[in-house]
Amino acid sequence: MLGPMTAKIVLFGATGYTGARTAEAMTRRGLRPVLAGRSPERLETLAQRLGGLPTARADVSDPASVRALVDRGDVLVSTVGPFARFGAAAVEAAVDAGAIYFDSTGEPPFIRSVFERYGPEAERSGAALLTAFGNDYVPGTLAGALALTEAGVATASVHTGYFITGGQGGQPFSKGTLNSLAGTLLEPMYAWRDGALLDEPAGRRYRAFTVAGRARPAVSIGATEQFALPRLAATGVAPRLREVDVYLGWFGPASKAVHLGSRVTPLIGRTPVLANALTGFAGALAARASDEPSAAALASATSYFVGEAFGSAGQPLARVLLTSPDGYAITADLLAWAADRASTQGVQGTGALDAVSAFGLEALTAGAAEANIVPIPSPA
């Protein structure tokens, strides 16, 4: 169990959209995090609005300034993205210090690097790393873990899915989210098969889930479930687990086009002229977006998270459906809950952890409920 009683909490990237919402969620819980970022003026404005919180200047271009934020056992929460460009300084600082680290990324390549590159280093230093601890990808991990546990030893495969309904009234995502999506368009993703990750392009797999009364298409992505659910299964819950897939249903009818496009994605990625043109176009679109999503779009949106377990013949064994409003509120509240609990009770284990292994399924379910992530009962 890592973490002293009432360790210091540092929120790095506090003045960004997700960071500010996380700071607000932390103060609602009675926490007093150190707000860190590169603009002292913006930090001070936010700190005073939230009751006079302490601040610290830190910039990813100066890794020593990030390292100075934390000591052994402290909690470092990073919302500085896109993480592929800016995330390394914070995770490296946590590893070096032996701190507890959380971030808000949804970028699969960065998630994989935390587990495969930084995880072994964190084990040696005594740090604990929990990446993607927000709307991406805690709710799906929880839904998949609950379905896996319910289905038990007969489980051969688990699929999770992420969906949003509503969202009318303007831009549904922040500029930071759009920049992250643009930066991962051509990056390799992964599935999990028979004890190992399988490289594949985004959208390689396509299927529909029944959500909110109708079948909704989705395409495959890399996430944290491919790391978390095999770990849970290996504890004896489902020793015959052979497959973990994660699906994103945000694209609606365009999911089919994304799936078909996955056939040429590797070719584009290997052709610099085409790759630069595509990523440049996506980046230009993101640059034109507002920093913050539309409040009306968030207010009208509902998130759904599905976990389904199947037997060896593909027969359904268990299904869990969770729901919550406003994905950014989910991220802020989950990070605030995790930082609070980790600072007072620590986490279970060191190295690259997942939400289930770090907190246990019962505690994670309770924490998710505090973030308004609740189950929808199955029809009788």
Beta bridge partners of 228: none
What region does 360 belong to: left with phi over 0, alpha with psi -120 to 50, or beta? left
Query: Where are the alpha helices (H) located in 52-137, listed in sequence order?
Result: 63-67, 83-86, 88-97, 108-113, 119-125
Q: How many domains does the chain have?
A: 2
Q: Are both 109 and 147 inside the same structural domain?
A: no
Beta bridge partners of 307: 160, 320
| pTM given for the model | 0.91
Distance of alpha carbon 197 from alpha carbon 243, whole angstroms: 10
Backbone angles phi, psi at 124, to 5 degrees: -70, -35
Residue 321 contacts residue 376 (beta carbons within 8 Å): yes
Q: Are both 180 and 316 inside the same structural domain?
A: yes
Instruction: Single out the residue in 325, 342, 375 at which a domain terminates.
Output: 325
Whether residue 109 is contained in a domain is answered as yes
Hey, which bits of the chain come out as E strands? 9-12, 34-37, 55-57, 75-78, 100-103, 128-130, 157-165, 189-193, 196-200, 206-211, 214-221, 243-248, 302-310, 316-325, 351-352, 374-375
Q: Are both 216 and 129 inside the same structural domain?
A: no
Distance of alpha carbon 148 from alpha carbon 160, whole angstroms: 11
Q: Are both 50 and 157 inside the same structural domain?
A: no
Whether residue 31 is contained in a domain is answered as yes
Q: Are both 149 and 288 inside the same structural domain?
A: yes
Report which of 215, 279, 281, 306 is spatially closest to residue 253, judged by C-alpha positions: 215
Distance of alpha carbon 315 from alpha carbon 329, whole angstroms: 35
pLDDT reported for residue 267: 55
Please calculate the CA angle 172-174-180 and round it to the nearest 5 degrees.
115
Q: Are both 45 and 72 inside the same structural domain?
A: yes
pLDDT tens sequence for the chain (380 residues): 555 456 899 999 999 999 999 999 999 999 999 999 999 999 999 999 999 999 999 999 999 999 999 999 999 999 998 999 999 999 999 999 999 999 999 999 999 999 999 999 999 999 999 999 999 999 999 999 999 999 999 999 999 999 998 867 666 666 566 565 555 655 778 999 999 999 998 889 999 999 999 999 999 999 999 999 999 999 999 999 999 999 999 888 888 888 877 765 655 556 565 445 545 544 555 566 567 766 776 677 899 999 999 999 999 999 999 999 887 899 999 999 999 999 999 999 999 999 999 999 999 999 999 999 999 876 54
Q: Are both 282 and 353 inside the same structural domain?
A: no
Residue 26 contacts residue 75 (beta carbons within 8 Å): no
Residue 60 contacts residue 66 (beta carbons within 8 Å): yes
Whether residue 29 is contained in a domain is answered as yes
Tokens standing for residue 304: 């759904």
Distance of alpha carbon 285 from alpha carbon 272, whole angstroms: 20
Residue 212 contacts residue 165 (beta carbons within 8 Å): yes
Whether residue 54 is contained in a domain is answered as yes
Query: Where are the alpha helices (H) located in 233-359, listed in sequence order?
Result: 255-261, 265-269, 272-287, 295-299, 327-345, 355-359
Q: Are both 260 and 143 inside the same structural domain?
A: yes
Distance of alpha carbon 163 from alpha carbon 108, whole angstroms: 17
What residue type is assigned to position 98 of the chain?
A: G
Distance of alpha carbon 335 from alpha carbon 341, whole angstroms: 10
Q: Are both 146 and 68 inside the same structural domain?
A: no
Distance of alpha carbon 14 from alpha carbon 12, whole angstroms: 5
State CA 219 to chain mean position distance: 17
Q: Are both 172 and 43 inside the same structural domain?
A: no
Whether residue 364 is contained in a domain is answered as no
Whether residue 3 is contained in a domain is answered as no
Q: Are both 15 and 89 inside the same structural domain?
A: yes
**Domain interval for residue 241:** 138-325
Specify the pairing of strand 9-12 against strand 34-37. parallel
Q: Are both 177 and 249 inside the same structural domain?
A: yes
Which residues are CB-neighbours of 153 under 8 A, at least 6 positions away?
A: 237, 238, 239, 240
Give residue for tokens 């922040």. 174
CATH number at residue 33: 3.40.50.720
